[in-house]
């Protein structure tokens, strides 16, 4: 029989957000390993109760007094014991080995996989927690990965950990996490590769596997992943504010304990929540977005895109268009060195929205009134715009699947031609050859981490004063030339 510690039982029935924070603190600080199953059941229970139709929208006042519906210990204990039973009854528990094996990890994945509802809408919200698994036999792709790691924790394999890219999850296991395995599906209509090693072939060059720089979680970072995966959405437009407040309080707890240092997306999630409802005046959301970028540069050799799109989105929402262009150019600087593959739809949609929705809206806003400080007069903005497009062109280069199509060209030409020729004439990008050595062995195989060395940044040197040829992708070269002849 599984046992929930007495110190945690004393916190039930849970009635306020602060009590949940105390439970997490007790798990994160008070014991050797936080109990993933317990914490996922508790957050899943609260999220599902507060985002289901039956719940009227109530405005919370504060974590201390914020009243939640009562969550009884018995409810949690029953689900907790059910998970332990599902796992221990299906996988032999005469644990002999110190480390997990590929066979063991695959068998735990099979237990979860074969107990899911036959067919259901996989992208529905609120399918990420063990509560969803245990009460509805439904999990999304992240939820399956998390359940497998929680299952391996139940079996006593402390070497099995969650590995996270920006759009996929798998596990590492064995001595120093030297082994890895797929344990869930990815995307639509793709055969799952469960049990296999992580992409060795072409997929290793796709953004989906972040050039072998995934976030490798500790148990505490797996708690950060389950908290990040909390979804406060009541519907497409409204969030349940108590759930959002709970997520924000738990992310601050994890941040203050240092467990977000190597987790850029969790820092970005906290930044988004802080922008909506600031809780810590000493740490503005803008500095959280910067921290996420610094973390990705320091620990993941700047191979992650989302830290820059978190920041770009923030600047865009706050009408800081010059800064948004710089963030998006930096995002493009990351994607340029990957090969586009069919597994990369999520980041494709991200760049498509920036290029064909956000930037055109900015150009419209900037060329409507008599903006005194318009970005249309700023060479730096034009330069970052070209860098943005050039990175996408380079992303396409050498890829089996094309990225750009005519739908990209119209907004692109429209945007470039909004800048006067005298402004465009001031721009010159001197690209660093090493940076452009795309796709040959050295960049993808070298381990010299350009971002670990202090202040060593390998980025195109931007010199907006002198004239000189640039090494743009031919498409950008042609478009820029066409602009100069005012053909467009």
Ligand X SMILES: CC1(C)CN=C(N2CCN(c3ncnc4sc(CCF)cc34)CC2)S1
Q: Which residues bind ligand X (CB under 6 A)?
A: 142, 164, 167-169, 225, 228, 265-266, 269, 306, 309-310, 313, 350
Q: How far apart are CA 311 and CA 437, in angstroms?
A: 27
- Residue placing its CB nearer to ligand X in the complex, 209 or 419: 209
The CB-of-347 to ligand X minimum distance in angstroms stands at 9
Q: From residue 239, how far is each of 60, 192, 224, 230, 288 by CA, in Å?
A: 12, 32, 20, 11, 22
Q: How far apart are CA 169 and CA 208, in angstroms?
A: 10
The CB-of-227 to ligand X minimum distance in angstroms stands at 9
Cβ-contact 217, 226 below 8 angstroms: no
The CB-of-63 to ligand X minimum distance in angstroms stands at 22
The CB-of-225 to ligand X minimum distance in angstroms stands at 5
Dmax (CA) of the chain: 78
- Residue placing its CB nearer to ligand X in the complex, 35 or 350: 350
- Residue placing its CB nearer to ligand X in the complex, 68 or 149: 149
The CB-of-142 to ligand X minimum distance in angstroms stands at 4
Q: From residue 114, how far is each of 106, 109, 195, 268 by CA, in Å?
A: 12, 8, 14, 34
The CB-of-266 to ligand X minimum distance in angstroms stands at 5
- Residue placing its CB nearer to ligand X in the complex, 299 or 382: 299
449 token code pair: 């981490």
Q: How far apart are CA 330 and CA 302, in angstroms?
A: 10
Complete edge-to-edge strand list for the sheet that includes strand 215-216: 179-181, 169-173, 161-164, 215-216
- Residue placing its CB nearer to ligand X in the complex, 308 or 419: 308
Q: How far apart are CA 195 and CA 180, in angstroms?
A: 9
- Residue placing its CB nearer to ligand X in the complex, 157 or 263: 263
The CB-of-305 to ligand X minimum distance in angstroms stands at 8
Question: Residue 169 phi/psi, 5° resolution?
Answer: -140, 145
- Residue placing its CB nearer to ligand X in the complex, 41 or 164: 164
Q: Which of 251, 67, 225, 460 is nearest to 468 (CA)?
A: 460
């Amino acid at each position: 029989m599984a046992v929930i510690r007495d110190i945690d039982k004393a916190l039930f029935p849970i009635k306020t957000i602060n009590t949940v924070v105390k439970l997490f603190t007790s798990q994160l600080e008070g014991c050797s390993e936080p109990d993933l199953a317990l914490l996922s059941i508790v957050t899943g229970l609260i999220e599902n109760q507060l985002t289901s139709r039956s719940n009227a929208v109530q405005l919370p006042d504060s974590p201390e007094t914020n009243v939640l519906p009562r969550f009884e210990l018995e409810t949690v204990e029953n689900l907790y014991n059910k998970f332990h039973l599902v796992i221990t009854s299906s996988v032999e528990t005469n644990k002999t080995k110190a480390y997990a094996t590929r066979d063991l990890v695959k068998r735990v994945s099979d237990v979860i996989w074969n107990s899911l509802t036959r067919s259901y809408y996989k992208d529905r919200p609120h399918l990420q927690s063990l509560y969803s698994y245990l009460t509805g036999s439904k999990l999304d792709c992240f939820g399956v990965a998390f359940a497998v790691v929680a299952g391996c924790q139940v079996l006593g394999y402390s070497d099995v950990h969650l590995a996270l890219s920006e759009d996929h999850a798998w596990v590492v296991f064995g001595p120093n996490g030297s082994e890895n395995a797929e344990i869930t599906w990815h995307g639509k209509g793709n055969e799952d590769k469960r049990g296999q090693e992580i992409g060795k072939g072409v997929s290793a060059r796709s953004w989906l596997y972040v050039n072998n720089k995934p976030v490798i979680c500790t148990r505490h970072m797996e708690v950060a992943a389950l908290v990040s995966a909390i979804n406060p959405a009541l519907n497409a437009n409204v969030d349940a504010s108590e759930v959002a407040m709970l997520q924000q309080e738990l992310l601050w707890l994890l941040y203050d304990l240092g467990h977000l240092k190597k987790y850029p997306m969790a820092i970005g999630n906290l930044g988004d929540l802080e922008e909506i409802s600031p809780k810590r005046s000493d740490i503005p959301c803008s500095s959280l977005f910067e921290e996420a970028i610094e973390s990705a540069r320091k620990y993941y050799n700047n191979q992650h895109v989302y830290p820059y799109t978190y920041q770009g989105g923030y600047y865009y929402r706050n009408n800081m268009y010059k800064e948004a262009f710089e963030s998006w150019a930096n995002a493009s600087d990351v994607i340029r060195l990957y090969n586009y593959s069919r597994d990369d739809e999520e980041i494709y949609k991200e760049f498509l929205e920036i290029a064909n929705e956000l930037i055109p809206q900015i150009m419209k806003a900037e060329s409507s009134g008599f903006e005194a400080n318009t970005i249309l007069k700023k060479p730096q903005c034009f330069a970052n715009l070209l860098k943005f497009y050039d990175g996408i062109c380079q992303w396409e280069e050498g890829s089996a699947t094309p990225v750009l199509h005519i739908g990209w060209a119209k907004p692109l030409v429209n945007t470039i031609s909004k800048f006067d020729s005298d402004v465009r004439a001031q721009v010159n990008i001197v690209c660093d050859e090493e940076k452009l050595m795309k796709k040959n062995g050295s960049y993808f195989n070298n381990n010299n981490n350009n971002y670990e060395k202090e202040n060593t940044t390998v980025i195109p040197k931007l010199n907006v004063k002198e004239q000189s040829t640039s090494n743009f992708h031919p498409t950008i070269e042609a478009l820029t030339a066409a602009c100069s002849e005012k053909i467009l």
